[in-house]
Amino acid sequence: MAKKKTYDSEFCGSLPLNYINVVQSYGYLLVLDQVSFHILQLSENCTDLFQEDFHEITGKELGKFADVEQLKDLQRRFAGRSKEKIPLTLNISGRRLLALAHFKDALIILEIEGADQPVERSFTNVYEEVKYAMAAIEAAETIEDASRAAVHELRKITGFDGVMMYRFDEDWNGKVIAEEKEGDLEHYLGHTFPASDVPKQARELYLKNSYRLIPDREYLPVRLYPVINPVINAFIDLSDCNLRGVAAVHLEYLKNMNVDASMSIRVIYNNTLWGLIACHHQTPHYLNFELCSVCELVSSVISNRITAILNKDVFERERELQRQQTGLIAQVYAAQDVLAGLMPEQGIHFMTAFRATGAIAVYQGIYHVTGDVPEKDTVENLMLWLQNKNTDGVFSTDQLPELFDEIVPFTAIASGLMAIPIDKDRGDYLLAFRPEVVQTINWGGDPGKTINFDPDGTKYHPRASFKIWKEQVYQTAEAWNKQELDTAENLRAFIYEFKTKQANYN
């Protein structure tokens, strides 16, 4: 194709995933009044938990069925001070069960594990299980090594047939950067999945949940009773509940991948979702709350390691740009001339400082060219186009042909542009060009067929095939990063200050 497309789906991103009002069947959900501990809502399978019809349980105090002193103690310590889920053990109807407590403004949400809790392991036992995983991840020096270590260790810990890790690009497409699989699972290393596979609303939910477990895609959804919460008079928000039910389209997606059980674990960088680790199994595969907590810990470890590696790269790039910026400013002062200082025959050059392959400076009637640039008539029209844009700051794009069609004949050398206005009204600019970088994207299935509607438009389905689908992307350049744009903005401010001083002096 001629230009880069985005594949995020507004339709998928608008689905109310957090108000789905059903839960998965591997556990029980209770909604309590935070003061009285009366049961306001419960999942209908709680009949099995309490040995009493779920219709008769609502309105009763939880203390009639379980010792709630530990829950009350946790409430005193954490209510209003923690947004995290707090684990505890409850004895209900003779069963010892692990639960997770969410303390809300007026409510307590309890997620109770369906399986009886085995003999509780010591902290040392649990820590030993993850120690090697932590050490392997923290020893990694590159994103690739850290990703491979995380995938390997998580597969050992969880026992899933396959684990893969992908990172999101600026358009929220996810590229698989590490994987480890066995059996008949497809291999996707190097493949890219379109943004619509993890739509906006789902991505936002990962900021509230470290993981998402679906032990059996064939589970029967369990409804909440009553449907409307009597305190808030609305559906209960299940955003941070692990038991939250799964949208039918996602279950069909897993089926098309030949997957019966899945777990997704987040990777966070700078408080944003950087990537996901996807665990798949070809048969139902349940992880208890304790093992999920181990995965939550590994999520934090890999997120911290990715953050450290990326921050080191950013620091080194910022340090180099600072050195280049300082040198350029010193050259301008030494020459007492903007062009002579920024585009000297020897020394630090504006073009190379910003990793461009062509540069043009138009200043006080002087037109100065370095490297590969479009012809002069096209550049003059480009500057007129820039003058008509409502911006006085630095302008940048990695897809100039899409915005300014006159540049198309010069795509090979000018697909990327960074423009620093010296005097916008007079048409004085510093321009840096980057060449076209032709990309071949190996999509995991046709990204244009992520959602398919039935002929009557009443139902929709995910794509059925994840076979490699190649796409050629032209007319794009390497993007200008934040550090480069910040440095360019600093240079723009300096040039303005230098010009003002010169005018006042003269």
* Contact in structure between 152 and 135 (CB atoms under 8 Å): no
User: What is the distance between the alpha carbons of residues 372 and 407, in angstroms, rounded to a whole number?
Assistant: 13
Task: Please state the φ and ψ torsions of residue 146, each to the nearest 5 degrees.
Answer: -65, -40
CA distance 159 to 279: 9
Tokens of 442: 């190996």
Angle, CA of 244, 247 and 252, to the nearest 5°: 130
> pLDDT confidence of 116, banded at 50, 70, 90?
low
CB 185 within 8 A of CB 280: yes
Domains 1-20+119-225+236-313+448-469 and 27-114 in one fold = yes
When the candidates are 3.90.1150.10, 3.40.50.720, 3.30.450.40, 3.40.50.300, the CATH number that belongs to 1-20+119-225+236-313+448-469 is 3.30.450.40
d(CA 255, CA 246): 13
Average pLDDT of the residues in 83-98: 85
The CATH number fitting domain 27-114, selected from 3.30.360.10, 3.40.50.150, 3.30.300.210, 3.30.450.20: 3.30.450.20
What's the pLDDT at 126? 67
Task: Tally the C-alpha atoms within 13 A of residue 206's C-alpha that lie toward its C-beta.
Answer: 25
> Tens digit of pLDDT for each residue in 295-352?
999 999 999 999 999 999 999 999 999 999 999 999 999 999 998 999 998 999 999 9
Low-confidence winner among 4-13, 90-99, 343-352, 356-365 (lowest mean pLDDT): 4-13
The two three-digit tokens of residue 154, written as one number:
């998580």
Reference 447, options 172, 149, 79; nearest CA is: 172
Residue 167 pLDDT exceeds 50 = yes
Helix%, strand%, coil% for the chain, nearest 5: 35, 25, 35
d(CA 252, CA 257): 9
Cis peptide upstream of residue 226 (ω within 30 degrees of 0): yes
Residue type, 300: S
pLDDT of residue 80: 63
Encoded tokens for 243 = 């038991």
Question: Is residue 463 pLDDT above 80, yes or no?
Answer: no
Please give the DSSP secondary-structure letter assigned to residue 234.
B
The DSSP H or E segment spanning 241 is none
Residue 58 φ/ψ, nearest 5 degrees: -60, 140
The two structure tokens encoding residue 245: 């039910």
Q: Are 417 and 433 in contact (CB under 8 A)?
A: yes
| Contacts of residue 420, Cβ cutoff 8 Å, sequence gap at least 6 | 394, 429, 430, 431, 488, 491, 492, 495
Q: Say if CB 485 and CB 396 are below 8 A apart.
A: yes
DSSP 36: T
For residue 240, the tally of other CB atoms under 10 A from its CB is 20
410 vs 418: CA distance, rounded Å? 16
Q: What does the mean pLDDT of the chain come to?
A: 89
Tens digits of residue pLDDT in 361-394 = 998 878 899 999 999 999 999 999 999 987 789 9
Does 336-438+475-505 carry CATH code 3.90.245.10?
no
Which of 181, 402, 195, 136 has the alpha carbon at shortest distance from 280?
181
CA nearest to 20, candidates 243, 208, 216 = 243
Q: Which residues in 85-123 are b (16+ Cβ under 10 Å) and which e?
A: bbebebebeeeebbbbbbbbeebbbbbbbbeebeeeeee
Distance CA 136, CA 232 (A): 47
**Which H or E run contains 300?**
helix 289-335
pLDDT of residue 244: 94
Question: Is it the case that residue 13 has pLDDT exceeding 50?
Answer: no
Average pLDDT, integer, range 160-182: 96
Which own/partner pairs from 93-96 qualify as long-range (CB within 8 Å, at least 24 positions apart)? 93/49, 93/50, 93/51, 93/65, 95/49
With a pLDDT cut of 70, the percent of the chain lying above it is 90
pLDDT band (50, 70, 90) for residue 440: confident
Q: For residue 263, report the phi and psi dihedrals to the nearest 5 degrees.
A: -145, 130
pTM (2 d.p.) = 0.86
The dihedral over CA atoms of 121, 126, 129, 130, expressed in degrees to the nearest 10, equals 170
DSSP state of 121: P
Q: In the predicted model, what is the mean pLDDT of residues 171-192? A: 94
The phi and psi torsions of 498 (rounded to 5 degrees) equal -65, -45
Listed residue (401, 449, 382, 396) closest to 3, CA to CA: 401
pLDDT bin (cut points 50, 70, 90) of residue 37 is very high
Structure tokens that stand for 413 in this block: 């050398």
Taking the domains of the chain in order of start, what are their residue ranges?
A: 1-20+119-225+236-313+448-469, 27-114, 336-438+475-505
Query: What average pLDDT score do residues 445-464 get?
Result: 67
Residue positions counted in the chain? 506
Rounded CA gap, 172 and 9, in Å?
Answer: 11
